[in-house]
């Protein structure tokens, strides 16, 4: 017998028929003797509708009331699933974030989980065999008692945090895909589903464009060593053996669980990038701080940074990337600090994309990046900027070449060939 957390996203609970399908997945695990907590998202499209209502009510609205409204989508789903489960003869009860409680920071709309009390859930597992159906995406700020929300994809984070709190054997993230792939199968038809991915690799994949898991959920999994299993809710529930050691999906786990480590695990890409170049900046100490300090104060994340070597020792150029959504605000921020920076010209581009190569095997293999640069050059793909870490490197290219670059690199590292687990 195992203790499981099962999380279902919006497409998995899109309507009552989908919720009944989810209930059958839950029943399969309960019938196998497992203790189960379920975390649910709002029905597909519901959160967008609720956000739209807030904006329609007032363009500038109180973030605390925004959270009250948007958190209601998950409340509806948790109640409906509990009703369906009870109709199947399963003892189930719904829980809201404030009832456990899930305690968070006070950053309404993007709160971070600080503590989860899972004691009552565990007690009910033992005393009643009760399935807990928990509203994801939400918590409460202890000092005020007000509802908070965790940002887009926050139900993944809720699920992993609850799994850590109740010491679950595994946290299953059910979604509309059957696992994590070497890259987006819509771009590369030969992309393969990965059997296992290390936490560090998944953290890079999630932060660099892969949409399967929220970054914060992977961080929590890594910190608390919660094994996370990504699987499809659209697999027929009756076709899955709940006692199998290898059900379909991808296990996110500690690096030590992965026997055969490949040099490159996956290719991620993001078109939500923008490039800003600050031209002819005085080449002297303090200028970088004058540029990036105001951006940090405005909560604008800067990723790639390239500084050209100054030929005359007097001026230089600084190029960096920001999220496309922050492009206009970043330009305005730099422009307002022009007198302090002393630049001559400000250039920018939004037709760029970031392509990243990730793999824990890169730690012990030289020349991985060099072979990529050569392969891209042979395809006449110009690299605007490069950034690296121990287990990944990223290149900034023209957006028009994104798919060609991804296919080229996917083939270069043999990711379209079966490499086993």
Specify the pLDDT at position 418: 65
Helix (H, G, I), strand (E, B) or coil at 387: strand
| pTM for this prediction | 0.86
Helix (H, G, I), strand (E, B) or coil at 248: coil
Q: Is domain 267-412 in CATH 3.30.2130.10, yes or no?
A: yes
Distance CA 341, CA 282 (A): 8
Domains 3-256 and 267-412 share a fold: no
DSSP-derived pairing of the beta strands 392-398 and 385-389: antiparallel
Say which residues have a Cβ less than 8 Å from residue 190's Cβ, sequence separation at least 6: 410, 416
With CA atoms as reference, report the closest residue to 109 among 43, 42, 51. 51
Q: Sketch the domain layout of the chain as residue ranges.
A: 3-256, 267-412
Distance CA 132, CA 244 (A): 23
Say which residues have a Cβ less than 8 Å from residue 390's Cβ, sequence separation at least 6: 362, 363
Specify the pLDDT at position 237: 87
Distance CA 356, CA 366 (A): 17
Is the preceding omega at residue 101 within 30 degrees of 0, hence cis? yes
Full pLDDT tens readout for the chain, 421 residues: 899 999 999 999 999 999 999 999 999 999 999 999 999 999 999 999 999 999 999 988 999 999 999 999 999 999 999 999 999 999 999 999 999 999 999 999 999 999 999 999 999 999 999 999 999 999 999 999 999 999 988 999 999 999 999 999 999 999 888 899 999 999 999 999 999 999 999 999 988 877 788 889 999 999 999 999 999 998 888 888 887 767 789 999 998 888 767 899 999 999 999 999 999 999 888 989 999 999 999 989 998 998 887 777 788 999 999 999 999 999 999 999 999 999 999 999 999 999 999 999 888 888 899 999 999 999 999 999 998 888 999 999 999 999 999 999 999 999 987 654 4
CB atoms within 10 A of CB 139: 32
CA dihedral 207, 213, 218, 220 (to 10 degrees): 120
Residue entry with tokens 């919006």:
10
CATH topology of domain 3-256: Carbamate kinase (3.40.1160)
User: Following DSSP, what letter does each residue of 7-36 receive, concatenated?
Assistant: EE-GGGGSSHHHHHHHHHHHHHHHHTT-EE
> Is there a contact between 421 and 260 (Cβ–Cβ < 8 Å)?
yes
Tokens at 107, concatenated: 């950053």
CA distances from 373 to 94, 134, 205, 267, 405 (A): 53, 47, 20, 14, 10
Tokens at 209, concatenated: 């464009």
Specify the pLDDT at position 135: 98
């Amino acid at each position: 017998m195992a203790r499981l957390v099962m999380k279902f996203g919006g497409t998995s609970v899109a309507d009552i028929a989908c919720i009944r399908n989810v209930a059958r997945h839950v029943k399969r695990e309960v019938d196998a003797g497992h203790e189960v907590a379920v975390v649910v998202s709002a029905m597909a499209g519901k959160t967008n509708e609720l956000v739209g209502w807030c904006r329609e009510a007032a363009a500038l609205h109180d973030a605390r009331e925004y959270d009250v409204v948007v958190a209601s989508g998950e409340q509806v789903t948790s109640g409906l699933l509990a009703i369906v489960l009870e109709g199947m003869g399963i003892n189930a009860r719904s829980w809201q974030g404030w009832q456990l409680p899930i305690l968070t920071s006070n950053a309404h709309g993007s709160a971070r989980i600080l503590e989860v009390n899972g004691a009552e859930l565990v007690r009910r597992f033992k005393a009643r065999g009760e399935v807990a159906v928990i509203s994801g995406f939400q918590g409460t700020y202890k000092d005020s008692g007000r509802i908070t929300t965790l940002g887009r994809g926050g139900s993944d984070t809720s699920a992993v945090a609850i799994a850590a709190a109740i010491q679950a054997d595994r946290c299953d993230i059910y979604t509309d895909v059957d696992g994590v792939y070497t890259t987006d199968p819509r771009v590369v038809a030969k992309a393969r589903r990965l059997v296992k991915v290390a936490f560090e690799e998944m953290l890079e994949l999630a932060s660099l464009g892969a949409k399967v898991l929220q970054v914060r959920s992977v961080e929590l999994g890594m910190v608390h060593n919660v094994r996370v299993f990504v699987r499809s809710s659209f697999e027929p529930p009756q076709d899955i053996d709940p006692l199998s050691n290898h059900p379909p999906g991808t296990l996110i786990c500690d690096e030590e669980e992965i026997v055969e480590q490949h040099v490159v695990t996956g290719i991620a890409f993001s078109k939500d990038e923008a490039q800003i170049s600050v031209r002819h900046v005085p080449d002297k100490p303090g200028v970088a701080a004058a540029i990036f300090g105001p951006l940090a104060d405005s909560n604008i994340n800067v990723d790639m940074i390239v500084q050209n070597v100054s030929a005359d020792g007097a001026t230089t150029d600084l190029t960096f990337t920001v999220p496309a959504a922050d492009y206009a605000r970043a330009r305005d921020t730099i422009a307002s600090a022009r007198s302090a920076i002393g630049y001559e010209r400000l250039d920018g581009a939004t037709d760029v994309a970031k392509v990243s190569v990730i793999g824990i095997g890169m730690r012990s293999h030289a020349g991985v990046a060099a072979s990529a640069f050569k392969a891209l050059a042979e395809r006449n793909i110009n690299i605007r900027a490069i950034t690296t870490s121990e287990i990944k490197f990223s290149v900034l290219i023209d957006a028009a070449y994104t798919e060609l670059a991804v296919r080229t690199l996917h083939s270069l590292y043999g990711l379209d060939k079966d490499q086993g687990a």
